[in-house]
Amino acid sequence: MRRPGASPLYAQVEAILTDRIARGDWPPGLLLPAEPDLASELGVSPGTLRRALARLERRHLIERRQGRGTFVAQQTSAQALGQFFRVRDLSGKPVRPETVVTGITTGPAMGEEAVRLRLVPGEKVHRIERLRSLNGVPQIVERIVVPAALFPGLSLPLAPQRLETEIYVHYQQAHGIIVVRAEETLSARAASTEEARALGREPGAPLLVIERITYDAAGRPVELRVSLLDTRDHRYAVELV
């Protein structure tokens, strides 16, 4: 195949398949055609297709299972937690948070928020407050901002329960949005009186601040989040390679 000044063929194939998934043409859970079939449909060799599939798998957009086939990734609670929740206990073991919603409001996006979420000024957002416990003890205060357009059913009484699991599962089930990437910045800050009360600490206690922006498969921002972690018994863990 030719490639005058364009990108490599495997990258083009990767982009085509990413687009099918991002648009919902290929919904989560779908079994993809077998590799030889998909390769001939796209007009590329099996080797080139495999190279594109390997990259999609590394981005967690598909799952390949030997003997079964290749599937569009399902956003499950356990999977989203493993991918995006970096908190560990002091021995390094992963912990599972229990979550309670402590407040929901709806209003226009602030200047900074609107820019980062790429909303028109004044567009509505939901603000969600949650308290997350690790091993039964409140350890994380969390404030989430999401475009209201992505969360229409939020005023319903059942909404809080949905918000107590990872909201990425809701995104996928209700809108076919697959969350694939997040950027986090970390800092340290003194607790306010409200934050301190929620976490059972004294005002001014040092907290770890985790600010996150989350993107879907199409590269659109879909969530802003600030998490305040009490780090007496837990750590935020990363590996650098």
Give the binding site for its own copies (CB under 8 A).
Answer: 59-60, 83-84, 86, 88, 92, 180-190, 204, 206-209, 211, 229, 231, 234-241
Instruction: Count CB-CB contacts under 10 A for residue 206.
Output: 13
* Spatial CA neighbour of 95 closest among 84, 83, 104, 86: 86
Q: Which partner from the list DNA, its own copies, none does 104 bind, CB cut-off 5 to 8 Å by kind?
A: none
- Toward DNA, which CB reaches closer, 53 or 169? 53
**From DNA, its own copies, none, which one binds at residue 231 (CB under 5 to 8 Å depending on kind)?**
its own copies
Selection from DNA, its own copies, none that 157 binds (CB < 5 to 8 A by kind) is: none
Q: Among its own copies, DNA, none, what does residue 200 contact (CB within 5–8 Å per kind)?
A: none
Q: Which is nearer to DNA, 8 or 152 (by Cβ)?
A: 8
**Nearer CB in complex with its own copies: 108/206:** 206
Q: Which of 160, 161, 180, 188 is nearest to 221 (CA)?
A: 180
Question: How far is the C-alpha of 19 from the C-alpha of 36, rounded, in Å?
Answer: 20
Closest approach, Cβ 104 to its own copies, in A, equals 25
Residue 203: CB minimum distance to its own copies, A: 12
Closer of 82 and 108 to its own copies (Cβ)? 82
Q: Which residues bind DNA (CB under 7 A)?
A: 1, 3-4, 8-11, 32, 34-35, 37, 43-48, 50, 53, 64-70
Q: What is the DSSP letter of 117?
A: H
Residue by residue, DSSP assigns 20-81 as HHHHTSS-TTPBPPPHHHHHHHHTS-HHHHHHHHHHHHHTTSEEEETTTEEEEPP--HHHHH
- The structure tokens listed for 237 are 């863990």
- Radius of gyration over alpha carbons of the chain, in Å? 20
